[in-house]
Amino acid sequence: MACPPAPFAECDLGLLRILTAGLDQCQDLYTLVPDVTGAALSEEADKCSVSDLYITPFPSLHPAKETTTMEAKPAVTVDEGSLATLPDPPARSFVGKVKRGVRALGTKDAWFGNHNYVALFTPTVPFLCKPDTTSLPFYSVNARLPIFLAFLLGLQHALAMLGGVVTPPLLIGSSSGANLGQDDTQFLIASTLIWCAFGTALQVSRNRIFKTKYYIGTGIVSVTGASFATISIALSFFAQSYANGYCPTGANGVKLPCPKAVGAFLGTCCLCGLISIAMAFIPPKTIRKLFPPLIVGMMLTLIGASLVKSGITNWAGGSAPCATNHAIKCKIGSRMQFWGSAPLIGLGFTSFITIILCEIFGSPFLKSASVFVGLVVGMIVAAATGYFNTTLMHNAPAGSFLWTKTFPLSIKPELILPLLAAYVVIVAETVGNVTASCDASRLPMEGTEFESRIQGGMLADSISATLAGVAMVPPLTTFSQNSGVISLTRNASRTAGYVCAAILFLAGVIGKFSSLFVAMPSSVLGGFTTFLFGSVAVAGIRIMAYAKWDRRARFIATSGMSLGLASLTVPSWFSYFFTYSGSNTGLKGLIQAIVLIVEEPYLISSLLAILLNSILPAEPEDEQAAPLLEDDSASNNGSDAKIVSDLPAAQVPDLESGAPATEAAKKAWNQPGTFFGRK
């Protein structure tokens, strides 16, 4: 049965049933109506009643094609109940599906559609360009995208996350971590890209567990990358391993490659990841109660702040012996420079300033990929000035895949407690990131569907993070920056998520691509990672802004941040607390685990904050600051005291936080008047 030509002036009952069930099932739809997708017709069908649809379905979709007027037939009354007795439409054969797909590929709409591509690439000129008020169409979660647009938006998601994906394996393999060789670091980067592709596809697909109410995946554009929560623990563990002799050092104190430490870290991650799988079956409401915005924001802020140290160290030249012995030079590519010299600082600055320029002048596409663009510009400048390791590029393999190299997996007892806490953080991160993606995708923010998406996201995240160690890559988590890409491009289609996963997979398989990141100088790495880690800290501050800042919240934040900042500024302050020197290896492992937790800023602060949040009673009512009463003989002649004391109780400003206690108080608090003796 063929579809009638547009504008569908009349349909028989059999076709009507197909239309109401979804027009994308009509066999000749793309031949006769190539410029209208099934999703658009189905969306229009929802606006019409059954009788309207039967007589004049979708006349507005083809205003330009109505050159020949078809005679309207008298209105026909259709009994909706009779539709249930109609025969099912004939099933389309596999050959028919292939033919329809081939015919669709020959149309312009299948490749480009009607999207406003100019808006994606139009640069911004401050103070000279009027703001663009053009409204781009919004693509829903299940919307079909033209091929070129799907590739473009998938590439945008991939570029937005690429810098964050390659940074953790780079830090693990660098001199700041286990000081792996260039080949092992290149393999680590390639494997991470491939595993992130699998993790992203798992999140986007959303599959229901057989005969249960649980899902795997969110069913939205939720991309996954290596978690920074575990990387800070890994760097601390590697430093501890070199200090206690677990990792070898040279005669002059130079760190030698330590692949067994990487294997111990990955193996312990596989064990500790089981707690995140168990937590995925806990109702999301319970997770949110355990980890309110105050605690999650505090974690991210301290994670970003602690990682900035490695970023700025690489910016100045890396963690080679030249970083501590300033009498020797650092070998960067084919050049020799002193640590922290102007050429190295300037090299990292090219990446940093490029990111800023992209935000000022860039198009929407360029802004979302600004971190990657900064990385590319830094590489180009480094190659032009002789700081790029071209030999490594030539010697890199053409292709790579999982398990072409392996690390000796093992379990280190001192890593168990810190990594258990880190996986709890990963689960808490996932809840916030999936919520942000649902909001950007214009999906319901409450109800059964929303809760199931969060549950599916937690489970998919936990599975990919737990099995990451088996794949020889660090644990994964959902990335938050891609929710910003959804809002910026107004595209929430899962097709873009699948394309993003495919691009990440190809980037990992192509060995030359991953070798680019190993061959670049450490200063370029430091320039863009310093910005990246700063954005992690700012994301935490933004989440903390959602907290209800009463006295209880301020006390919890103060208690947690005080110890977190102490460990951030003086990392070794707790190293000499224990004096045990016996031969009990179990006790030694426990002592090292406690020291690692206390000296990791976000771990000690989050554990204390979770404890206080659980035991401190909630205040019975909103805190209201008492009116400020000052003697009229004060230096300001009592003018400030009079202004405040004259305010109603509900409008008294919160003097401790410096902000009005209510919205109504803002006008009174900001009203013109005498302030410190001046008008």
Give me the pLDDT at residue 512, please.
86
Per-residue pLDDT at 116: 75
How many CB atoms are closer than 10 A to CB 439?
13
Residue 342: pLDDT above 50?
yes
Q: What is the pLDDT of residue 590?
A: 84
pLDDT at residue number 539: 82
In sign, the C-alpha dihedral spanning 338, 342, 343, 349 is positive
Confidence of residue 310 (pLDDT cuts 50, 70, 90): confident
Distances (CA, A) of 174 to 181, 255, 304, 311, 385: 8, 11, 18, 12, 22
Residues contacting residue 511 through CB under 8 Å, at least 6 positions apart: 186, 190, 396, 397, 398, 399, 400
Query: Which amino acid, 231?
Result: I
Tokens 């910005």 belong to 531
- Of 231, 291, 272, the C-alpha closest to 606 is 291
What residues have CB less than 8 Å from 404, skipping those under 6 apart? 187
- For the segment 202-260, what is each residue's pLDDT rounded down to a tens digit? 999 888 988 888 999 999 988 898 888 888 889 889 988 998 888 988 877 788 899 99
Integer Cα distance of 365 and 159 in angstroms: 10
DSSP 323-369: GT-TTSEEEETTEEEETT-HHHHHHHHHHHHHHHHHHHH--HHHHHT
Rounded Cα–Cα distance for residues 527 and 344 (Å): 10
Segment 88-107 shows an average pLDDT of 69
What's the pLDDT tens digit per position in 604-649? 998 899 999 989 887 765 544 445 444 444 444 444 444 334 444 4
- Each residue of 28-49: pLDDT tens digit? 333 334 344 444 444 444 444 3
Three-state DSSP at 215 gives strand
- pLDDT in the model for residue 69: 40
| Beta-bridge partner residues of 89 | none
Q: How confident is the model at residue 565 (pLDDT cuts 50, 70, 90)?
A: very high
- pLDDT interval class at 561 (50, 70, 90): very high
Average pLDDT, the chain: 76
- Let me know: does 266 contact 409? Beta carbons within 8 Å: yes
**Tens digit of pLDDT for each residue in 491-501?**
888 999 999 99
Q: Are 476 and 225 in contact (CB under 8 A)?
A: yes
Cα–Cα distance measured from residue 466 to residue 269, given in angstroms and rounded to the nearest whole number:
7
Supply the pTM of this predicted model. 0.72
pLDDT attached to residue 583: 79
> What's the rounded mean pLDDT across residues 171-192?
88
Confidence of residue 99 (pLDDT cuts 50, 70, 90): confident
DSSP letter (8 states) at residue 545: T
Dist CA 651 CA 665 (whole Å): 4
Angstrom distance (rounded) from CA 591 to CA 584: 11
How far is residue 225's CA from residue 429's CA, in Å, rounded to a whole number? Answer: 12
For residues 240 and 324, which has the higher predicted lDDT (pLDDT)? 240
Q: Say what the pLDDT of residue 89 is.
A: 56
Distance CA 647, CA 642 (A): 9
Nearest to residue 107, comparing CAs of 37, 177, 211? 37
Residue 128 confidence class, pLDDT cut points 50, 70, 90: low
For 291, the token pair is 């980890």
Residue 160 has pLDDT above 90, yes or no: no
Three-class SS of residue 675?
strand
The two tokens of residue 383 are: 């190659």
Pick the residue with more confidence: 571 or 638?
571
Q: Are strands 224-226 and 329-332 parallel, antiparallel or unpaired?
A: unpaired
Q: How far apart are CA 336 and CA 34, in angstroms?
A: 62
Amino acid 56: pLDDT: 35
The average pLDDT across 353-379 equals 87
Q: Please tell me which residue, 654 or 454, carries the higher pLDDT value.
A: 454
Q: Phi/psi class of residue 143: alpha, beta or left (left: φ > 0; alpha: ψ in -120 to 50)?
A: beta
Separation in Å, CA 665 to CA 381, 609, 619, 670: 54, 31, 22, 8
Q: What burial letters (b/e) apply to 383-398, b meaning 16+ CB within 10 Å?
A: bebebbbeebeeebee
Better-predicted residue by pLDDT, 675 or 432 = 432
pLDDT of residue 399: 86
Buried b (16+ CB within 10 A) or exposed e, 84-97: eeeeeeeeeeeeee
314 in Cβ contact with 526 (< 8 Å):
yes
Its sign, for the CA torsion 306, 309, 312, 318, is negative
d(CA 331, CA 521): 9
Report the pLDDT averaged over residues 362-385.
86
185 within 8 A of 170, measured Cβ to Cβ: yes
**Residues 587-606: b if buried by 16+ CB within 10 A, e if exposed:** ebbbbbbbbbbbbbbbbbbb
What's the confidence (pLDDT) of residue 87?
55
> If you search the block for the tokens 């808006």, which residue do you land on?
119
| Two structure tokens written together for 301 | 């802020």
Residue 11: C-alpha distances to residues 35, 64, 517 (Å): 20, 21, 60
Handedness of CA 226, 231, 233, 237 (dihedral sign): positive
Residue 217: exposure state from Cβ atoms within 10 A (0-12, 13-18, ≥19): buried
Confidence of residue 103 (pLDDT cuts 50, 70, 90): confident
